[in-house]
Amino acid sequence: MTPILTEQQRALWHQLLPLGGGREGAIVITCHRGPDGDAVGSATALASWLRRHHPEADIHIVAPNIFPDFLKWIPGAEDILIYEGHEDEVRPIVEAADLVIMCDHGELKRMWTLGDIVRDHPTPRIMIDHHLDPEPDIADLVISHPELSSTCEVLLRVMLELDSNITRSEATSLYTGMMTDTGAFTYASNRPEIFELISILLSCGIDKDKIYRNIFFTYSPNRMKLMGYLLYVKLDVWKKAHTSVMTFTNAERRRFGALNGDTEGFVNMPLQILGMKLSVFLREDTEHPCIRVSLRSVDDFPCNEMAAEFFGGGGHKNAAGGEVWGTMDDALALVKKAVQKYMPLLKAE
């Protein structure tokens, strides 16, 4: 397997760690707002790995906001500090860091207000990510590989190059991120190296079947009812554009008693319709006056380009997102405009 660290990156890694010749120091690991399996998996795996290699360091994981309940079983997730709503307690920890390591995002704005704290704090930073076009000068060391399936894959390869010893809990976190960021290896996962890496993780003793169940077989009855409602009542299929759109309001969230993370995966379901190329899921944010936009596609349709052009976001070719600061009607109008702009690609055979 071709190494992904250059000699310069390897030297810079050892320069930044262990915080100066083994002295005690503080490391803060961050991720993007709305943490998913790849963000939580990479952050927890890295924290565990660093604690083993730098026991003198004080290591914290700080997430910008809460993450879905179905990810709370991941080893180390119970120690994640949440910034939103706990600013007075968490901000001093971030400001006291001797090193900040950012996982699964290439822009400070992806952390919202936590990103402002990191930007204003003059501490060295490392970025480990797989998204396109990272922000210029975002970190002293940038380890970015958009061609890889997930940040967890990037991190796993970094860990293997620096030290091949990986624990079962670290392997569990890494597999979770790789699995969730590829839709259980149904997209962005055609490279043979991915399955070589899975074999390595299996050799660490992970139970991949249980990991799958922990992610996908933990739904509440209300979630199942909500899924039926959204598919039967809210699914709008635009046949000529090979596009589907679903909307979800906070009133509907309250009606069905939806928990955090209960809508995870809904955006993928319409892609099971024959001929569908693009699925759009719009949901009202529970904390801010905006509409969250999730995009999924098949084949070569560029979700990331649509997300960047119309929704101030980004992501990957087949999975991206953004937001619309306005009403649901505003978001629907913008989706129609975006679909019209990309109609040649959507109609192409």
What confidence tier does 24 reach under pLDDT thresholds 50, 70, 90?
A: low
Q: Give the CATH H-level superfamily of domain 7-215.
A: inorganic pyrophosphatase (n-terminal core) (3.90.1640.10)
- Greatest distance between any 2 Cα atoms in the chain: 63
Read out DSSP for 158-215?
Answer: HHHHH-----HHHHHHHHHHHHHTTTTTTSS--SHHHHHHHHHHHHTT--HHHHHHHH
Report whether CATH 3.10.310.30 matches the domain 221-347: yes
pLDDT of amino acid 240: 96
CA distances, 312 to each of 291, 293, 315 (Å): 12, 10, 11
| pLDDT tens digits, one per residue of 287-346 | 889 999 999 999 999 999 999 999 999 888 999 999 999 999 999 999 999 999 999 999
Give CA 73 to chain center in angstroms.
17
Pairwise CA distance, residues 95 & 297, whole Å:
40
pTM of the predicted protein model: 0.90
Domain boundaries, the chain: 7-215, 221-347
| pLDDT tens digits, one per residue of 72-128 | 999 999 999 999 999 999 999 999 999 999 999 999 999 999 999 999 998 999 999
Helix-helix angle 328-341:303-311, to 10 degrees:
130
Pairwise CA distance, residues 249 & 246, whole Å:
10
The average pLDDT across 21-47 equals 90
Among residues 204, 177, 172, the alpha carbon closest in space to that of 189 is found at 177
The average pLDDT across 142-156 equals 97
pLDDT of amino acid 261: 82
Length of the chain: 349
Amino acid at 229: Y
